[in-house]
Amino acid sequence: MNPDGFHSRLPTLHGDGVRLRWLKPADLPALQRLFGNPEVVRFMALSQLETRADTEQFLESIVEGFLEGSLYQWGLDVEGQLVGTCTLAAIDRANGHGEIGFALARAYRGQGIMARAVRALLEFAFGPLGMHRVEADVDPRNTASIRLLERQGFTREGLLRERYREEGGFQDALIYGLLRRDWMPLSPRAGRIGEG
Ligand X SMILES: CC(C)(COP(=O)(O)OP(=O)(O)OC[C@H]1O[C@@H](n2cnc3c(N)ncnc32)[C@H](O)[C@@H]1OP(=O)(O)O)[C@@H](O)C(=O)NCCC(=O)NCCS
Q: Which residues pair with 170 in a beta bridge?
A: 165
The yes or no reply on residue 144 touching ligand X (CB under 6 A) is yes
Q: To which H or E segment does residue 74 belong? A: strand 72-78
Q: Which of 102, 124, 126, 183 binds ligand X (CB under 6 A)?
A: 102
115 membership: H or E segment, kind and range: helix 113-126
Measured from the CB atom, is 35 or 66 closer to ligand X?
A: 35
110 binds ligand X (CB under 6 A): yes
Residues 128 and 10 sit within 8 Å (Cβ to Cβ)? no
Cβ-based nearer residue to ligand X, 102 or 124: 102
SS3 content of the chain, % helix, strand, coil (to 5): 35, 35, 35
**Rule CB under 6 A: is residue 151 a binding residue for ligand X?**
yes
Which residue's CB is nearer to ligand X, number 4 or number 54?
54
Could you say which of 22, 43, 74, 183 contacts ligand X (CB under 6 A)?
43
Using CB under 6 A, which of 9, 16, 143, 160 touches ligand X?
143
What kind and span of H or E run contains 116? helix 113-126
Q: What is the smallest separation between the CB atom of 8 and ligand X, expressed in angstroms?
A: 28
Nearer to ligand X, 57 or 143 (CB): 143
Angle at 103 between CA 86 and CA 117, to 5 degrees: 40
Shortest Å, Cβ 22 to ligand X: 20
Part in contact with ligand X (CB under 6 A); list of ranges 12-20, 60-68, 123-131, 138-146: 138-146
Q: Which is nearer to ligand X, 20 or 40 (CB)?
A: 40
For the packed helices 113-126 and 143-151, what is the interaxial angle rounded to 10 degrees?
50
Torsion sign (Cα): 161, 165, 171, 177: negative
Q: List interacting residues with ligand X (CB under 6 A).
A: 40, 43-44, 101-104, 109-110, 114-115, 138, 142-145, 147-148, 151
